[in-house]
A and B are shown apart, each in its own frame.
Chain A
Amino acid sequence: MPTPVQSHTGTGLDGSLGLAKEGTYADPAAVPTRFFEWLTANLGQDRNTFTSKGINSGRQMAAASKRAIVTTAVKGDLSLEVPSSMFGLIFEALMGKVTPTAPSPQGDTAYSYAYTLGAQPSLMVQQNVPFSPDSPLLGSLESFNYRGVMVTSAEFSCATSGVLTAKVSCLGQSMDHSTVTTPNAVYADGATLFSFAGGTVTVDGTVAATLSDFGVTVDRKLDNARYFFGGSGKPAKAAAKDLTEVSVKTGIQFDDVTLLTKWSTDASVAITATFVGQPIAGSTKKSSVTFTIPVAKIDGDLVPGLTGPDVVKLSPTFTAMVGAAGTEPLTITYVTADTAS
């Protein structure tokens, strides 16, 4: 028998965040099918207005009747803990191309999805905001539907005290909203997280034994300041305005001169970061997220100084670059029980 879950409270605890991939850009009929446990969900609508500066000898202030909305757009960020289920949608929205791999051997239940750079799909994002306990609308939610949303960048990081998290920055075309009395959130009950304890980073195939901070940022360099006559003041689909940038931030102890030597000659390094989660039911595998960067250059100052009594530490950053032809500059691999990306 299905098991009851708790009812809602009329506070922010009732807020929900749902996403769906749009079949048609900014489809007004799209509804969310995947809901994520959010840390913050701050998509909003930018509204640019024009106020007349025309002079009327009978008044000394701007007239309300001479103000108009000129353009609108959607932008904002989502902060999430990366779960072991449903998150393939966000990886795909960021990277663009997904290559699924069936479970192996036959009978296993672990699916693998490899995300590489390609044309990005658009999303609809729904933020369901609860009315306060003192409102006559207590128990209802205002559903804010953001449409034509493109992921312009995402930062994945894992602190020594936490789990793998994602800050996802978005640009979108439009927003509509309505009051709903029935919550529609549906969560993957089996989703778990990726702890620091399951994290491993390698540089040139060797485990970085004293690396304690890790973050990778993927910036697709999208811009949606693309307004055209006939567009009702809404932007066209966000498009790339520059080269995609993938950078890695780390913190590491000064153990040897390997990185220093690489840095001084501007040699390339290969980086992988793997975050292993919980076992997948029916499989010998565990859920995981792996960032693979075959070619990266080291940025920043790798020459250590004497700054105090503590262990000498370095903060190298790495910039992923295109290497050998046919090699993806960044692959994100998601191993999950999800049977769809």
Chain B
Amino acid sequence: MRIRNISPFGRLEVTAVGLYVDAGEEFDVDDAQAPALLAQAENFVAVTSTTSTATTSSQSASAAGTTDPAAVPAA
């Protein structure tokens, strides 16, 4: 399964998969790992498109709307 980092905290150290993942970056996890990460709705979302590829942090962060500097932060 492919997952995207949508966290409001930017680059994450994801111990489940042993990876550092940039803001907006997509990465692959196996089916056993996915539920524990996707349960963290603040940090991760499943990538549903079958044509998705790894993206740069700036591209995907913008798409996810997580680092829009003009946005009012969530309380």
Instruction: Report which A residues bind B (CB closer than 8 A).
Output: 1-8, 16, 20, 31-34, 85-86, 92, 98-103, 106-109, 111, 113, 180-191, 282, 337-341
CB neighbours of B21 from chain A (8 A)? 2
The secondary structure that dominates the B interface is loop
A1 touches B54 (CB 8 A): yes
**Contact residue among A102, A106, A183, A191 (Cβ-Cβ distance under 8 Å from B73):** A102
Known contacts: A98-B75, A188-B10, A339-B73. The answer to whether A33 contacts B41 by CB under 8 A is: yes
CB neighbours of A6 from chain B (8 A)? 18
A106 touches B70 (CB 8 A): yes
Known contacts: A2-B20, A31-B40, A183-B16. The answer to whether A188 contacts B9 by CB under 8 A is: yes
CB-based nearest A residue for B14:
A186
Would you call B60 an interface residue if the criterion is a C-beta within 8 Å of the partner chain's C-beta atoms? no
A189 touches B15 (CB 8 A): no
A85 touches B9 (CB 8 A): yes
CB under 8 Å from chain A, chain B span 26-48: 27, 32-33, 36-37, 39-43
CB neighbours of B17 from chain A (8 A)? 2
**Contact residue among B18, B22, B73 (Cβ-Cβ distance under 8 Å from A7):** B18
**Contact residue among B10, B33, B71, B74 (Cβ-Cβ distance under 8 Å from A85):** B10
CB neighbours of B39 from chain A (8 A)? 31, 184
CB neighbours of A108 from chain B (8 A)? 69
How many angstroms between the C-alpha atoms of A107 and B20 in the bound complex?
26
Q: What are 21 A-B contacts with C-beta separation under 8 Å? A: A2-B27, A3-B20, A5-B19, A16-B15, A20-B42, A33-B40, A85-B9, A98-B75, A100-B74, A102-B71, A102-B72, A106-B70, A113-B75, A186-B7, A186-B43, A188-B9, A188-B13, A189-B11, A189-B12, A338-B73, A339-B74
B19 touches A189 (CB 8 A): no
- For the complex, count residues of B whose C-beta is within 8 A of A: 37
Query: In the complex, what's the smallest C-beta–C-beta distance from B17 to chain A, in angstroms?
Result: 8
The secondary structure that dominates the A interface is loop
A20, A101, A183 interface centre (most CB from chain B within 10 Å): A183
Q: For the A-B complex with A102-B72, A340-B73 known, give 7 more contacts whose Cβ atoms are closer than 8 Å.
A: A2-B17, A16-B15, A98-B75, A107-B69, A180-B36, A185-B15, A185-B16
CB neighbours of B25 from chain A (8 A)? 2
B20, B69, B70 interface centre (most CB from chain A within 10 Å): B69
A6, A32, A34, A189 interface centre (most CB from chain B within 10 Å): A189
CB neighbours of A92 from chain B (8 A)? 75
A186 touches B75 (CB 8 A): no
A340 touches B32 (CB 8 A): no
How many angstroms between the C-alpha atoms of A183 and B29 in the bound complex?
13
How many angstroms between the C-alpha atoms of A108 and B71 in the bound complex?
11
B42 touches A339 (CB 8 A): no
**Contact residue among B13, B71, B74 (Cβ-Cβ distance under 8 Å from A186):** B13
State the 8 A-B residue pairs at the shortest beta-carbon distance, nearest first. Answer: A2-B19, A340-B8, A188-B9, A339-B8, A100-B73, A184-B36, A340-B74, A3-B20
Query: In the complex, what's the smallest C-beta–C-beta distance from B74 to chain A, in angstroms?
Result: 4
Query: In the complex, what's the smallest C-beta–C-beta distance from B64 to chain A, in angstroms?
Result: 11
Query: In the complex, what's the smallest C-beta–C-beta distance from A141 to chain B, in angstroms?
Result: 10
A341 touches B9 (CB 8 A): no
B69 touches A106 (CB 8 A): yes
A186 touches B69 (CB 8 A): no
A183 touches B12 (CB 8 A): no
B70 touches A4 (CB 8 A): no
CB neighbours of B37 from chain A (8 A)? 184, 186
Query: In the complex, what's the smallest C-beta–C-beta distance from A190 to chain B, in angstroms?
Result: 5
